[in-house]
Structure 1
């Protein structure tokens, strides 16, 4: 075990064993008679209270990639890396009224996925299919990126090769298959406890060792002044990019299928209302996480093997004793397992309900749906592992930028559709197509720049699209996904006006206005069916 820090690795493995036991034990936690129903396996029985939901959603959207990538971006670019902080501040007021309406209509109508809602609301199997495909495609690289976090801590401890990552995800796949959403919900308690412990210790101990915050910021300012790139303040040309990236990311965050899965697992509207008030606590933690990038500059930390994603693990290894560095590494590693599990479940739900049931087996029973979802979740994890093994991890990060831009194109049908059905179903398809083409073209046009502004890769190098490419005399950049969303909305509105003027059939709304305000106690909210009564041949499936 030459080159391997055995103390760090032993602590890391110990925590991994604990969460593995919790993952398998979750199958018996708050469970129904069996899990062979998507409401049970994929949504945890739709019964999670305030604290479980808080840990679940927090563990879902604040991932291992966040822990390693945000401070790594701050380390390399300075203030631009802080875009994640304002977007997690503004996101909760933006989606407060959206998620409770989605919760209500989903619990009344038995929806499991956002595509279920779109299918019923707009009477459009085509738009529902597009929402499902978009969700799956956007989620896949996000799962792969959780592996980047695990890979970063393993590399820092001296563990190389792909086998440890494969073993970790095989174990994850098995207990997710067994326990469903209950597994990450239970493990999220451990994950968040470790992360908060690590952050609190880091923001107290590291600046103290370095001589105080004035030394930390002074070292960062000196570095960026010498490099001529980045800085403690945003340049004028980057402010529009920063604002649109923050707003676009906020709008996209709760369009991701895994975020909606966490929302639908809550037991009531009141649970979500409390969570929207409590979740900003994570934003405070995220601000401290971002500051780790400046601390690494002041500490003179160098990334392991030139991999920028290792900057935070390398900082912890440099500043903490081995046993506590192992605790911090466990926080990052477990922080990868929780969101990866939820994401794979969400993708599996989409495939099962909106592709398998809609197009391959319309008479599928709840038991058959659950079996297909379990298998689909395994396939998703295999795909994520394959992506990290066979694709340059840096390119996987770029794929995540693409994922954010394309998931935004479901906003008109999923987000706006919760408030109005004025948008025509044909216009939604047209708007999605226009927005998607715009997103892919703008992202394709962005090169990746290396030191000194040298072009490292011609295409798909980021999300900062230059308005100069549209003929404007400016060097200002804008978030490609936000620009694509504007195109989407414009096309959707114009085509809606045309189709309604032509009196083109708009289908039948499968929801009622009262569905969107239903509380848990309302008679219209469906009771969960008895999974034992849902065996093949027992009648039509729910939903």
Structure 2
């Protein structure tokens, strides 16, 4: 008999329960017709404060967060805490940006960030680049949700890829039917389970391990016994700059991801955005506790599951739960992680599908597409995106897909000049922005390609810490590659803009006006203006 039978039963029951909720969600706040991106892809743009809280929280704090952040602390120590300041400083930054994006999007009917760029800079080419960038950066992020589910399945003794394929087939089915309403409804269950599990871990595990002093002493002893550059419960001169730049770069990138924008645009008014950006940092407190699970695992002597001769650090947290909790509650914890993968995976696939449909299909393939055509294509593409994510797990090294998430952050940062700065200024010339995007993307990818990891034997794309010594500096410090690439992007965009202005090159028209960036629910400007596709 399987030693994890109770855990498997509890996990399966909860997983099936939320799957039923996903299908039922198509009847929740159901409009007369779901056949439009406004309804299928944005939930009717009608979510209030509570729904938006759970939707955005469930969207940003993924299964990978609950698995990888503590695993990083378990393996490297204090560096893993970069997730704390990054989520704290994100919200003040985006508070200034997303409210404006919400307003101009509701005035013009924008569904994606590329829609805004198309109207703001009058450049189909630039909008296409933004759309492709968003899709490319999102794909490995969806695959990473599978990593969380896979780690849980391994800890329950379930091997093979069939269970993951079945789980994502169910996800694909109810996302196809219910659209954004499915993850919005499931997010209530996901977040509730996560809070229950983490609060239980905060109380139970330290008591079993002898208190927080014992936990930190065990972590300090581990890193002292196996010294490695940058490892330890405190930062050192070699990793402080990497820590700072990684936190800042990650904060700038977070709400540039298409799935983050999708959750925001589904809100019904500006006040909902304001309240959520003010309250969402509460999740950072939860994240701090989640990160400490890595140190708890050290104190508990948890060992990762060995797969194909290599330890899988992603199984650290599931193994800790298995060791510390009774079987039935371990099943609940596993379900929290598994369901935590479904919500962001659904939103990400919807966001990627909307980018393809609105900014590639309608812009270049079928300009006369109706709302129903868009919804149908988006549903199909959302299925294909999930298939692509499953293929990452089936045919590629899981460790490689995790490293691709770092690549995704560097990639999506290159949309900041057009999307983030574009919400405040029209100074950049569209030609300069295209040139800046190309330069930043090229530099970012080349830097990531040059980063290896001698411990894992990976020669390329093995992290995001770029050694400054590669630039000829006499130092062992590293810096987040994404920020360097963004600096190159901005510099080239500025030079390109000045050159284009000097050469009197034609610039695109701006379909927005200052008043559009402050419009709110019920504002007559929202109703009187024609939608821009």
TM over 0.5, yes or no? yes
Cα deviation code 1:350-384 (max 9, x no counterpart)? 00000000110000000000000000000000000
d(CA) in 1 for partners of 2:480, 2:405: 14
Q: How far apart, in 2, do the equivalents of 1:215 and 1:359 lie?
A: 61
Aligned to 1:456, the other structure's residue is in SS state: coil
Q: Secondary structure at the match of 2:267?
A: coil
Counterpart residue number, 1:115 = 114
Separation (CA, whole Å) in 2 of partners of 1:519 and 1:348: 27
2:410 to 405, 409, 431: 405
- Is it true that 1:182 corresponds to 2:181 in the alignment? yes
Partners of 1:304 and 1:472 lie apart in 2 by 40
Whether the 8 Å contact between 1:366 and 1:541 is mirrored in structure 2 is no
Q: Return the offset for 1:180.
A: 0.1
1:374 to 374, 379, 396: 379
Structure 2 matches for 1:84-483, cutoff 5 A? 84-229=83-228, 230-305=231-306, 306-450=311-455, 456-483=457-484
**1:46 deviation in Å?**
0.2
Q: Distance in 2 between matches of 1:4 and 1:183?
A: 33
Contact 2:428–2:494 (CA<8 Å) still a contact in 1? yes
Asked if 2 retains the 8 angstrom alpha-carbon contact of 1:364 and 1:541, the reply is no
TM-score (norm 1): 0.96
Partner of 1:534: none
Q: Deviations over 1:463-496 (max 9, x none)?
A: 0000100111111100001110000011111111
> Is the 2:109–2:531 contact (alpha carbons within 8 Å) kept by the matching residues of 1?
no
Secondary structure of the 1:120 match is helix
Contact conserved, 2:110 with 2:532, CA < 8 A, in 1? Answer: no
Gaps of 5+ in 2: none
- Whole-angstrom distance in 2 between the partners of 1:541 and 1:212: 59
- In structure 1, C-alpha distance between the alignment counterparts of 2:527 and 2:436, rounded to whole Å: 33
SS at match of 2:139: helix
Answer whether contact 2:103 2:518 (CA < 8 A) is retained: yes
Is the Cα–Cα contact under 8 Å of residues 4 and 159 in structure 1 kept in the other structure? Answer: no
* Alpha-carbon offset, residue 449 of structure 1: 2.9
1:72 matched to 2:71? The reply is yes
Q: Please tell me the root mean square deviation across aligned C-alpha atoms, in Å.
A: 1.2
Alignment partners' CA distance in 2, 1:122 and 1:182: 32
Q: Deviations over 1:107-138 (max 9, x none)?
A: 00000000000000000101100000000000
- How far residue 505 of structure 1 moved from its aligned partner, in angstroms, is 1.1
Cα distance between partner residues in 2 of 1:4 and 1:394: 28
How far apart are the structure 2 equivalents of 1:4 and 1:404?
40
Task: Give the distance between the partners of 1:7 and 1:143, measured in 2 at CA.
Answer: 29
CA distance in 2, matches of 1:69, 1:426: 39
Shift of 1:542: 6.3
Q: Return the offset for 1:500.
A: 1.1
CA deviation map 1:125-182 (0-9, x unaligned): 0110000000000000000000000000010011000000000000000000000000
Unaligned runs of 5+ residues in structure 1 are 529-539
Aligned mates of 1:249, 1:541 — CA distance in 2: 33
